[in-house]
Amino acid sequence: MFARIVVPLDGSPEAEESLTYAEEFARRFDSTVYLLEVTPGYGQLAMATTATPFAATPAMAEAAVEAVEDAAESASEYLLGLCKDRDRGRWRPVVVTGDSATEIVDKAKELGADLIIVASHSRSGLKRLLLGSVAEDVVRHAAIPVLVLHRD
């Protein structure tokens, strides 16, 4: 029923709690689990550097490229560490760059996933207004079931 499961992670304890659920689903349904981390892409960094009154310099552009590469490498190491103690044939790390919710939905579709297990950070009020809710966007746009783990 759930042959391929995508579990987005961001390094937070809330997100890592979803691993317990993913392990149980994988055991019960003999699933492949894709641990997914979305790192900021060039677009997000370009917006951050051009939001200032100064034009981006070549040094800023080079720093942005280096930051994207460093983030991807760090994410890969993080996910490999989480996969280390699990069945390597069924637990696979995936790193993509871009907008979190969009990339989660797109990668799940690309992988032919049957389920997404995502943690909610339980933001409310001004924090939610300013930061948004990745889990909410994933639920809104995914064409497959999404299990949202809500932490009080």
The per-residue pLDDT for 48 is: 53
| Highest-confidence segment of 37-41, 45-49, 58-62 | 37-41
Kindly report, residue by residue over 67-111, the tens digit of the pLDDT. 888 889 999 999 999 998 887 679 999 999 998 999 999 999 999
Within 10 A of 125 (CB to CB), how many other CB atoms are there? Answer: 7
**Residue 8: which pLDDT band, with cuts at 50, 70 and 90?**
very high
Using the predicted structure, report yes or no on whether residue 9 has a pLDDT greater than 70. yes
The top-level CATH class assigned to 4-39+82-150 is: alpha beta
Q: pTM, whole model, 2 decimals?
A: 0.82
Token pair 């993913």 is at which residue?
Answer: 22
CA distance 47 to 78: 26
